[in-house]
């Protein structure tokens, strides 16, 4: 997989990762208590919006979700 999977796997509790798609980003992913919290970053600016929660063993589902966003 791509480099972002390695970066997400390297997160420590309480850290976040910005999934870059452009200068503004595409997604913000937080790891807290072995749970990933996924937020969508609007293309035209604004605050990230909560999307879904994934267990730590569902990273591939999280990645597929973000990749499906256009």
Q: Collect all residues with Cβ–Cβ distance below 8 Å to 18 and sequence separation of at least 6.
A: 25, 27, 28, 29, 41
- The pLDDT of residue 1 is 44
38 forms beta bridges with 29, 52
Q: For 8-56, how does the pLDDT look when each residue is reduced to its tens digit (9 = 90+)?
A: 999 999 999 988 765 666 899 999 999 999 999 887 777 899 999 999 9
- The pLDDT of residue 25 is 67
pTM of this structure: 0.86
CB 64 within 8 A of CB 49: no
- The pLDDT of residue 32 is 97
Determine the Cα–Cα distance for residues 18 and 24; give it in Å rounded to an integer. Answer: 9
* Per-position DSSP letters for 40-70, written without gaps between them: EPPTTSS--EEEEEEEGGGHHHHHHHHHH--
């Amino acid at each position: 997989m791509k480099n972002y999977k390695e970066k997400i796997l390297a997160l420590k509790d309480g850290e976040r990762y910005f999934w870059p798609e452009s200068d503004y980003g595409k997604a913000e992913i937080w790891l807290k208590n072995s749970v990933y919290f996924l937020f969508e970053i609007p293309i035209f600016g604004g605050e990230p919006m909560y999307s879904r929660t994934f267990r730590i063993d569902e990273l591939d589902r999280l990645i597929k979700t973000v990749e499906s966003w256009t």
